[in-house]
Amino acid sequence: MQKIELEIAGLTSGHTSKNASYTLVLGEKNGDKRIPVVIGAYEAQAIALVLENIKPQRPLTHDLFKSFAEEFSVEIIEVYISDLVEGVFYSRIKCLKDGVVHEIDARTSDAIALAVRFNCPIFTNDSIMNAAGINLEEEEEASEFDEPERPDSDDDLLSNIGESTDYSRLSLEELESLLSEAIQSEDYNKAAILRDEINRRKD
């Protein structure tokens, strides 16, 4: 099977808040197809924090794994989405230790959360891409006739998570103070929203 390199194309909130699920969208690095993967809120946050370059006050589970791996000279060199069984994606993490390559079974959401931390490539194969891939052009055409079924937003996860509080009336100093408090209290959803507002002010 042909290996296909993927990149994170988006991270969006689910249609309902009942089960707090999110959709991780992986796109072909050199193509138009995308693979949507439903993941949990915790894993979505773990991925989004790295994408938004926000450092938590204390290490999350995936950060701890990275520190553990680095301490013992283990490097993650590749994440491979290997199988799709009854709608569930299966992944393997390829690690390098003392010149020897090891492969570890992992949930796809955890594998991606580690991939963004180790800055390693993400791959799948043409069989999975053909079975689960959505053509970008077809998706755009379908959206013209199916607008009511679309999520509220196609923006990145961190613009969708948490309360949509209006911080536009606050000063830059007040925003930075709130950001510091949010990080200290580990409210990373609020921290992301505040950080985006600060960045908009500074642009």
Q: State percent of the chain over pLDDT 90.
A: 41
Whether 177 and 123 share a structural domain? no
Whether 169 and 143 share a structural domain? no
∠ CA 28-30-33, nearest 5°, is 35
Of 157, 185, 165, 162, give the one whose Cα is nearest residue 50: 157
Whether 29 has a pLDDT exceeding 80, the answer reads yes
Whether 152 and 183 share a structural domain? no
Q: In what order do the strands lie in the sheet with 33-40?
A: 100-107, 88-97, 74-85, 122-125, 3-13, 21-28, 33-40, 134-135
In this predicted structure, what is the pLDDT of residue 157? 44
Please count the CA atoms within 13 angstroms of the CA of 36 that sit on its side-chain side.
Answer: 12
Q: Which residue has the higher pLDDT, 167 or 82?
A: 82
In this predicted structure, what is the pLDDT of residue 191? 65
| Confidence tier at 198 by pLDDT (50, 70, 90) | confident
Whether 49 and 97 share a structural domain? yes
The SS3 call for residue 98 is coil
How many structural domains comprise the chain? 2
Whether 99 and 182 share a structural domain? no
Helix 188-202, helix 41-51: angle, nearest 10: 30
Q: Which of 36-40, 99-103, 120-124 shows the lowest per-residue confidence on average (mean pLDDT)?
A: 36-40
Structural domain of 170: 162-203
Please count the CA atoms within 13 angstroms of the CA of 199 that sit on its side-chain side.
Answer: 9
Q: State percent of the chain over pLDDT 70.
A: 75
pTM above 0.75, yes or no: no
Give phi and psi for 74, each to the nearest 5. -105, 130
> Distances from the Cα of 9 to the Cαs of 34, 36, 59, 136, 143, in angstroms?
8, 10, 25, 11, 17
Alpha helices in the chain (DSSP H): 41-51, 61-71, 108-118, 126-132, 136-143, 172-184, 188-202
Whether 145 and 196 share a structural domain? no
